Structure 1
């Protein structure tokens, strides 16, 4: 028995160049941990889960929640793997609830979006793009996503790790211990790279 389609924001994610990893087991464990933490932080219709290989997917009721999930997964995997995402909006039809099989326009649009991100990465100036969006996303939100993708691409692993703490409300002293630097050095990164401002832009986008 199938369930009638309901409009959702579908998210498809994929690790970049994962086949080049020297430790596939550790990579999969890191991805699983990142998805678990994101599922605990973000309300989802269908929680994120690994599907085939290093690809994963989930579904959300709001665009802001889907974007929040992309940010948390990407930053959680800092120093481990790069990630690309495709988002799509539309109906989702459950084909087999027991096996978790779904279909519908939202998934088709998300697949088109992530394929476009992969193609863009091969074009001059496109390497920083990590988030594909459907055409219905307005120009303001689309511009914000592009600017955040570009800003994240410029940050060092240390700055991204600190940014993750900023947007998740963690303690600077804890991230300082984890990175082996002083709290003053953490504050220096926050100021130098304008991480508080970037974090504010990201969390504001989560409200759309």
Structure 2
């Protein structure tokens, strides 16, 4: 069993330059894979504003999606549906088509994100659905992970673009001094920005994800 991820662009119809935005997305996804390769198959455009990716386990999927949220500039964002279940490929004259209960679950998950965005949680960006037949352990893991994702998305959504860049840099192991040089600010300013943004909680969360959820 693997983890299927569907992603679509938030407000894609309102983007001034959809082609330029896609270039930013492609470059950002490639950068993340260079910095910390986690995907079995990185997010790849399929049709319209949708992307599909496959990950080995839930922790790695959630880590990779957080990295993408942190790395994207203001004005460009994804929402994500994560499906836990088997995936397969159907051969066609147009190439392989994604199929299987993992993808159906991912579709249900991204529809949940859309619904939550439109109600009381406008910063919601990520949700997980398990395909039928999950055991009790995975069902509990999915429920706890969804609770975590609601809070994580709220925290990331409140960050400035600089705060997201700094948090991303710390996530991939860069020092505060290196980040200060890149940003043209002092190291104490970096430390203050990270603290006020709640970056430490996000980074501890990543450590917990990669160490405890398989």
**Superposition deviation, residue 182 in structure 1:** 2.5
1:182 and 1:25 mapped to 2: Cα distance? 36
**Superposition deviation, residue 114 in structure 1:** 0.4
1:128 aligned partner:
123
2:142 and 2:107 mapped to 1: Cα distance? 19
**Superposition deviation, residue 54 in structure 1:** 2.5
Unaligned runs of 5+ in 2: 131-138
1:167 and 1:111 mapped to 2: Cα distance? 29
SS of residue in 2 equivalent to 1:45 = strand
1:113 and 1:92 mapped to 2: Cα distance? 15
**TM-score, length-scaled by structure 2:** 0.85
1:179 aligned partner:
183
1:27-53 per-position Cα deviation (integer Å, ceiling 9, x unaligned): 111100121123332332222211123
SS of residue in 1 equivalent to 2:87 = strand
**Superposition deviation, residue 70 in structure 1:** 0.8
Which deviates more, 23-32 or 106-115? 23-32
**Superposition deviation, residue 145 in structure 1:** 1.9
1:95 and 1:146 mapped to 2: Cα distance? 34
1:189-200 mapped onto 2 (5 Å cutoff): 189-200=193-204
1:73 and 1:37 mapped to 2: Cα distance? 9
1:53 and 1:179 mapped to 2: Cα distance? 35
Which deviates more, 194-203 or 59-68? 194-203
Check conservation: 2:7, 2:50, Cα contact below 8 A. yes
**TM-score, length-scaled by structure 1:** 0.87
Q: State yes or no: 1:28 paired with 2:32.
A: no
1:172 and 1:28 mapped to 2: Cα distance? 30
1:56 and 1:177 mapped to 2: Cα distance? 34
2:136 aligned partner:
none
Q: State yes or no: 1:81 paired with 2:76.
A: yes
Which deviates more, 189-198 or 89-98? 89-98
Aligned counterpart in structure 2 of residue 101 of structure 1, from 82, 97, 104: 97
Aligned counterpart in structure 2 of residue 17 of structure 1, from 11, 14, 19: 11
1:1-80 mapped onto 2 (5 Å cutoff): 7-40=1-34, 41-80=36-75
1:180 and 1:26 mapped to 2: Cα distance? 27
**Superposition deviation, residue 68 in structure 1:** 1.2
RMSD over aligned Cα atoms:
2.0
Check conservation: 2:38, 2:64, Cα contact below 8 A. no
SS of residue in 1 equivalent to 2:53 = strand
